[in-house]
């Protein structure tokens, strides 16, 4: 059975989701889990974009083994050289070069004629290939391919293959394509490009019309051999083709597609939860495959059918995607070694000793407060401890005074990285509003709350609560999250998570 290559761009295109900013440590955790999931290619970032992106690509290239690590580059010499430098430590490096080809991009963005586009495409691919002498793996993407004139697109594809491209990607950059139309374009290229059999033909679909997965699957049916996608479908604007949807469609409907992937589907839920937690992007309840309702049956008729025979209303087993709720066979008296083994079982095999120690401390504290501890609790604890650097501000204590007939008052006490105590108090329209305003006063960083969400990690009155916030600071959106048995405390920590990201990114240390 032919294998479809799964190219994951969660760390590059996925991070372009509004309000998402992953640090190096968070990217490494996701990259290790993607390798465990079994993707073939990890696009780790856009090295020329910033020093942070360069460092992240280099770190993933140096640490993650068993997969191809790609770095994105415009069809410019400086971009390609920067990508090659970042990818030096990779076991299997790939430079991914892109250049817009559609008429609208040529006219308004690039202001270049077709001949210039062809020349630049050839030269950039040749340069990228020359910089990877031991691993000549170069991918080329004609940006906005789905809106490019087919005849010109054919010329571009032939040219870059002649120049040495090993993969050619046909992006539906703005989510404009319709499945039948997109499949027809892929079929046209497969038939008309004279040297098409020398390369892997790839597709990269956006979800602006809600058709990213449908377009990707249609392209596979027409002959594409690689699909570019993201975990939970995150990405620019409405997102990308969802990895879990593409993989499980191929897995569930092998009878129709006749293709397989190298993905370990039982790692899908772990991966989805990790990405959701670290990006702060919650998965909608009715999301296919990984949503909370994906395997829930509320209709009496459906419930009766599933009880009698699961396949009456379930086309996939929850266990196939790793959706299980097992009680952790550990208690508050369990040792650190047993806890570390459980972390490996849950997919966290690359934590540092410091991170394991911090997570174990939180586990012990939770064991004193909570009778039953689930795998989801442990996952939440681990994600909560993934810090790239010590936070500038830590919550030391807080007090909320509110109730019917009173004006909500919040008192907040923070401890700085250099162990100074800062505190302030203020009133607000509600307890959370007062809390966030007090934090603003202490830190001197005023934020505007855009979104606030609370959810229980597991069931029961003693469930850990997860708070996610989106905050606007000086016109830029940031996301933060935190967990606690106390929702008010989790709210404060989530808001501080945003503040710490801003300060660490722009200052690095607390300025008095």
SS (H, E, C) 129-149: HHCCCCCCCEEEEEECHHHCC
Domain region containing 313: 294-324
Q: Return the structure tokens found at 3.
A: 């294998």
| 39 band by pLDDT with thresholds 50, 70 and 90 | very high
Q: Are residues 237 and 317 in the same domain?
A: no
Q: Are residues 36 and 129 in the same domain?
A: yes
| Range from 2-16, 206-220, 362-376 carrying the lowest mean pLDDT | 362-376
| 508 band by pLDDT with thresholds 50, 70 and 90 | very low
242 occurs within a structural domain = yes
Indicate the pTM of the whole model. 0.85
pLDDT tens digits along 147-200? 999 999 999 999 999 999 999 999 999 999 999 999 999 999 999 999 999 999
88 occurs within a structural domain = yes
Q: Are residues 77 and 208 in the same domain?
A: yes
288 occurs within a structural domain = no
Q: Are residues 73 and 138 in the same domain?
A: yes
**Which of 262, 381, 269, 288 lies closest to 33, judged by CA?**
269
Q: Are residues 262 and 348 in the same domain?
A: no
511 occurs within a structural domain = no
Name the strand (E) or helix (H) holding 103. Answer: helix 103-105
pLDDT, average across residues 132-154: 96
181 occurs within a structural domain = yes
Q: Return the structure tokens found at 460.
A: 């029961």
How much of the chain, in percent, has pLDDT values that exceed 90? 70
Q: Return the structure tokens found at 429.
A: 């329209």
pLDDT at position 387 is 61
289 occurs within a structural domain = no
pLDDT tens digits along 52-99? 999 999 999 999 999 999 999 999 999 999 999 999 999 999 999 999
Q: Are residues 413 and 442 in the same domain?
A: yes
How would you class 324 by CB atoms within 10 Å of its CB: exposed for 0-12, middle for 13-18, buried for 19 or more? exposed
Kindly report the CATH number assigned to the domain that includes residue 76: 3.20.20.70
Q: Are residues 419 and 274 in the same domain?
A: no
pLDDT at position 388 is 57
**Is residue 388 classed as helix, strand or coil in its secondary structure?**
coil
Structurally, how many domains does the chain consist of? 4
Q: Which long-range contacts (CB under 8 A, 24 or more apart) does 182-187 make?
A: 182/146, 182/215, 182/218, 182/219, 182/222, 183/218, 183/219, 183/221, 183/222, 184/222, 185/145, 185/146, 185/150, 185/153, 186/218, 186/219, 186/222, 186/223, 186/224, 187/222, 187/223
CA distance 138 to 290: 33
How far, in whole angstroms, is CA 18 from its chain's centroid?
A: 12
How much of the chain, in percent, has pLDDT values that exceed 70? 94
Q: Are residues 63 and 141 in the same domain?
A: yes
CA distance 253 to 259: 9
Q: Are residues 15 and 128 in the same domain?
A: yes
Beta bridge partners of 397: 413
Q: Are residues 410 and 357 in the same domain?
A: no
301 occurs within a structural domain = yes
25 occurs within a structural domain = yes
Q: Are residues 71 and 19 in the same domain?
A: yes
CA distance 101 to 219: 20
Q: Are residues 403 and 486 in the same domain?
A: yes
């Amino acid at each position: 059975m032919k294998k479809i290559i799964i190219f994951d761009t969660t760390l590059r295109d996925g991070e372009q989701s509004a309000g998402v900013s992953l640090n190096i440590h968070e990217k490494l955790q996701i990259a290790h889990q993607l390798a465990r999931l079994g993707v073939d290619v990890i696009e780790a970032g856009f090295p020329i974009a910033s020093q942070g992106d360069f460092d992240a690509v280099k770190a993933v290239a140096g640490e993650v083994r068993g997969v191809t690590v790609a770095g994105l580059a415009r069809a410019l010499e400086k971009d390609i050289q920067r990508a090659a430098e970042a990818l030096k430590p990779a076991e299997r490096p790939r430079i991914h070069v892109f250049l817009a080809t559609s008429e609208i991009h040529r006219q308004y963005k690039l202001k270049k004629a077709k001949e210039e586009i062809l020349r630049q495409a050839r030269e950039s691919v040749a340069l990228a290939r020359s910089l990877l002498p031991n691993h000549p793996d170069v991918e080329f993407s004609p940006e906005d391919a789905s809106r490019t004139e087919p005849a010109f697109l054919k010329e571009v594809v032939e040219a870059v293959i002649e120049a040495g491209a090993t993969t050619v990607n046909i992006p539906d950059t703005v989510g404009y394509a319709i499945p039948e139309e997109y499949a027809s374009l892929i079929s046209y290229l497969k038939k008309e490009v004279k040297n098409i059999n020398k390369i892997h033909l790839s597709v990269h679909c956006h979800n602006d019309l809600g058709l990213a997965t449908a377009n990707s699957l249609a392209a596979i049916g027409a002959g594409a051999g690689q699909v570019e996608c993201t975990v939970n479908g995150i990405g620019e604007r409405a997102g990308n083709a969802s990895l879990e949807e593409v993989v499980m469609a191929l897995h569930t409907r092998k009878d129709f597609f006749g293709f397989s992937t190298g993905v370990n589907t039982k790692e899908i839920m772990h991966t989805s939860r990790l990405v959701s937690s670290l990006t702060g992007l919650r998965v909608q309840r009715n999301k296919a495959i990984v949503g909370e309702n994906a395997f829930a049956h509320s209709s009496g008729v459906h419930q009766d059918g599933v009880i009698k025979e699961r396949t009456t209303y379930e086309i996939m087993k929850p266990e196939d995607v790793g959706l299980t709720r097992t009680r952790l066979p550990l208690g508050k008296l369990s040792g650190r070694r047993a806890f570390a083994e459980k972390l490996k079982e849950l997919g966290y095999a690359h934590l540092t000793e410091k991170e394991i120690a911090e997570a174990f401390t939180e586990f012990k504290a939770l064991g004193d407060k909570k009778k039953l501890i689930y795998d989801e609790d442990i996952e939440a604890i681990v994600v909560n401890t993934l810090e790239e650097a010590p936070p500038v501000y830590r919550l030391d204590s807080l007090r909320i005074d509110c109730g019917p007939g009173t004006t909500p008052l919040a008192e907040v006490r923070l401890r700085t990285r250099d162990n100074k105590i800062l505190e302030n108090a203020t009133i607000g329209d509600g307890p959370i509003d007062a809390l966030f305003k007090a934090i603003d006063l202490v830190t001197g960083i005023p934020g505007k709350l855009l979104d606030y969400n609370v959810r229980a990690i597991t069931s029961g009155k003693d469930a850990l609560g997860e708070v996610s916030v989106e905050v606007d600071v000086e016109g830029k959106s940031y996301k933060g999250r935190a967990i606690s048995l106390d929702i008010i405390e989790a709210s404060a920590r989530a808001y501080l998570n945003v503040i710490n990201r801003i300060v660490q990114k722009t200052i690095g240390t607390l300025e008095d």
